[in-house]
Amino acid sequence: MSLFTRRPGVQDPATWMPPGTTVVQRYRNTLGEREGAIVLVYTADGDRGTSRYAAVCLGCTFRASKTVAHNPMSEQDAAKAANAHTASCRAMNRGVPAAPDDIEAATIVRDRLWSLRQHGSRAHAVSLSDFHADRVALQRPADFIKETMHQLVQSEPHFVTAEPCASGTGTRFLVQPHPART
């Protein structure tokens, strides 16, 4: 081993890009003379023509992917939410979060799908932007999310179904409603 061989170091949250995302802005809160947590503004679009954005704090539990009106965030919306959060957050920088193993990541996907499940008779069409708030925790590309949904279609067809997209290319996933109570 060479004397000058570099060992892989700890990833710097100031430059880290979670797998499956594109970070477009970074904000840092300040704790007096010390630097606090970093808030990322990112996109992870893969299934729509227009970009959707989210913001996440690497020091606390703050995550945002929808506006107050429950609409998907634009880059400006996410930047505004990140800036407001850094003004009030006093969390220390916890560094880059550890990537979950595949089982934990699949559980994150399933939990997000479960949160989309509604009462009534209508199925909810799933898009990749439904996972924006989870992308930093997932640290996986869109293909992982799609593959996990395919596995759920096979193992839990009462929960998630799939059908060909109207365009003829790709698959449309549907979270089935909660069963009616009898």
**Residue pLDDT, tens place only, 42-59:** 998 655 556 889 999 999
Domain boundary among 53, 88, 123: 88
The domain tally of the chain equals: 2
Closest CA to 20 of 100, 75, 95, 103: 100
Closest CA to 12 of 91, 133, 94, 134: 94
Residue 181 inside a domain? The answer is: no
Question: So what's the pLDDT on residue 157?
Answer: 94
Residue 79 inside a domain? The answer is: yes
Question: So what's the pLDDT on residue 44?
Answer: 84
Question: So what's the pLDDT on residue 94?
Answer: 86
Domain boundary among 88, 113, 137: 88
Q: Are residues 48 and 75 in the same domain?
A: yes
Q: List the helix and strand counts (H, then E) for the chain.
A: 4, 7
The full length of the chain comes to 182
Q: Which domain, by its residues, includes 133?
A: 102-175
Q: Are residues 113 and 161 in the same domain?
A: yes
The dihedral through the CA atoms of 167, 105, 70, 84 has a sign that is: negative
**Residues of the chain whose pLDDT is less than 50?**
1-3, 6-7
Question: So what's the pLDDT on residue 121?
Answer: 80
Domain boundary among 40, 57, 88: 88
Residue 8 inside a domain? The answer is: no
Query: Which stretch of DSSP H or E encloses residue 25?
Result: strand 22-31
Cα separation of 174 and 118, whole Å?
Answer: 11
Residue 59 inside a domain? The answer is: yes
Residue 14 inside a domain? The answer is: no
Which residue carries 């096979």 as its tokens? 154
Residue 51 inside a domain? The answer is: yes
Q: Are residues 106 and 78 in the same domain?
A: no
